[in-house]
Amino acid sequence: MAEPLTLFQMGWTDHFADQITDRDGTPARISSVHRKRVAGLTVDGPVDLTLDPGQSTATMAVGDWVLCNPDAARVLHRLDRHTTLQRGKEFATGERQLIAANLDTLFITTSCNADFNVARLERYLALAHDAGIAPVILLTKSDQADDAAAYVAEAQALGADLPVVALNAKGADVAQILSPWCAVGQTVAMAGSSGVGKTTIANALTGNTAATQGIREDDARGRHTTTGRSLHRLPQGGWLIDTPGMRGLGVADVSFGIDATFPEISSLTDDCRFRDCKHENEPGCAVLAAVDAGRVTADRLARYRKLRREDEIATETTAEAHARKRRFSKTVNAAVKGKKRGRR
Ligand SMILES: Nc1nc2c(ncn2[C@@H]2O[C@H](COP(=O)(O)OP(=O)(O)OP(=O)(O)O)[C@@H](O)[C@H]2O)c(=O)[nH]1
Ligand SMILES: [Zn+2]
């Protein structure tokens, strides 16, 4: 068995310590989530845990911290998250789906080729900002590009403080290049389209090829499962969360993150004449004035509007889905009551 880890090495911080002052239980970090149970890591080693009857494992995410009773193999309490990464929404229920918990860094991955798409990067940035996770842009396949610097410049334009890294994912120096974000106790995850090199980088970081093989096998059948480990210890001391849910993240309810991604626009909207200004053709629009003055680019404004619209539609649908559910249960309740009354 691997050597025991301290809580600090597992990513424990004051944020979690402050929550356990008057609670019993052994801290465990969730390493995988299954249909009926979760697996976790404690200072004494791995544990398999079940939840209280009636509690769904869907409320748990890889990376979560819980207090558990290892002897009873039971989760007692989930600690408040430092960050939460969620998928936009489930079509059927309108609910947001948990992807991962307590991430410090999101490696937003694209390539120095046709995959590079500023609007997609902004969408991932909005998600990361909304969740409070620090984004880092990884530009792979720099070895195959004529002018990798041009891609770096375009990505860097998305934020002065935004780390942008161009690299060859197959190079020997990947772990070294990404080490600033993979130090002891740090938790990272990767997002990006298919084929951009996420698996290649994950293998370089974990130092083996087994880490992602479970997912690879499922890929062959075009299906992903949540079985297998999803929290990988990195040789440098950090953790990589690798869940199938990382693909295809939609935006919903992330208006804060969108504003954070487009600061040069969101900082102006309070000055628009109309509170609900869409910055399209309204009189007294401060954003359009800034475009005219050359302080905001028309492209950025167009993408900001598109993302806002997408977010609003998805957010509305979430609320509507809840309303629909409420109406549905009212109808059912009324029907049940009606029946009971009929029986009397
Ligand atoms: N030359 C070069 N090839 C790369 C680079 N990054 C990825 N590749 C290659 O591109 C292909 C796809 O890489 P993967 O790591 O499987 O991409 P992925 O993002 O995990 O793709 P999915 O699993 O479909 O999401 C593989 O053949 C890699 O060897 C790079 O930086 N340089
Ligand atoms: Zn406006």
Structure tokens at 15: 């944020």
How many structural domains are present in the chain?
Answer: 3
Domain boundary residue, one of 216, 246, 276: 246
Q: Is 322 flagged in the annotation as binding?
A: no
What confidence score (pLDDT) does residue 214 get? 39
- CATH code of the domain containing 320: 1.10.40.50
Determine, yes or no, domain membership for 40.
yes
Gap from CA of 327 to ligand 1 centroid (Å): 47
User: CA–CA separation, 116 vs 160, rounded Å?
Assistant: 19
CA-proximal residue: ligand 1, atom 28 (nearest): 197
Q: Are 32 and 231 in contact (CB under 8 A)?
A: yes
Give residues with Cβ within 8 angstroms of 201, minimum separation 6. 107, 109, 138, 140, 169, 174, 178, 190
> What is the model's pTM?
0.83
115 and 155 housed in the same domain? yes
124 and 212 housed in the same domain? yes
- CATH code of the domain containing 121: 3.40.50.300
What confidence score (pLDDT) does residue 93 get? 59
Q: Is 143 flagged in the annotation as binding?
A: yes
189 and 266 housed in the same domain? no
Q: For 99, phi and psi rounded to 5 degrees?
A: -110, -50
What confidence score (pLDDT) does residue 344 get? 46
Domain boundary residue, one of 246, 274, 309: 246
Spatial strand order of the sheet with 38-42 comes to 45-49, 38-42, 26-33, 65-69, 74-78
Q: Which helix (H) or strand (E) holds 14?
A: helix 14-17
Instruction: Domain of residue 186: give its range.
Output: 84-246
* Average confidence (pLDDT) per 10 residues, the chain, 344 residues: 84 95 90 93 95 91 96 95 82 71 96 94 93 96 96 96 97 96 96 90 82 38 48 94 71 85 95 94 96 96 93 73 71 68 53
Q: 200 CB under 6 A from ligand 1?
A: yes
Structure tokens at 188: 């990272």
What confidence score (pLDDT) does residue 246 get? 66
Q: For 271, phi and psi rounded to 5 degrees?
A: -90, -5
135 and 26 housed in the same domain? no
285 and 222 housed in the same domain? no
Domain boundary residue, one of 26, 47, 78: 78
Determine, yes or no, domain membership for 1.
no
Identify the CA nearest to 229 among candidates 29, 11, 12: 29
Pairing of strands 105-111, 134-140: parallel
Q: Which ligand is nearest to the CA of 301?
A: 2
224 and 239 housed in the same domain? yes
Residues within 5 Å of ion ligand 2, judged at the Cβ atom: 272, 277, 279, 285, 287
Q: 74 CB under 6 A from ligand 1?
A: no
Determine, yes or no, domain membership for 344.
no
Identify the CA nearest to 123 among candidates 300, 313, 307: 307
Gap from CA of 207 to ligand 1 centroid (Å): 16
Which of 107, 200, 206, 215 to mutate for ligand 1's pocket (most ligand atoms within 8 Å of CB)?
200
274 and 205 housed in the same domain? no
Q: In sequence order, what DSSP letters do the residues of 303-343 get, joined into one string?
A: HHHHHHHHHHHHHHHHHHHHHHHHHHHHHHHHHHHHHHHHH
Gap from CA of 172 to ligand 1 centroid (Å): 15
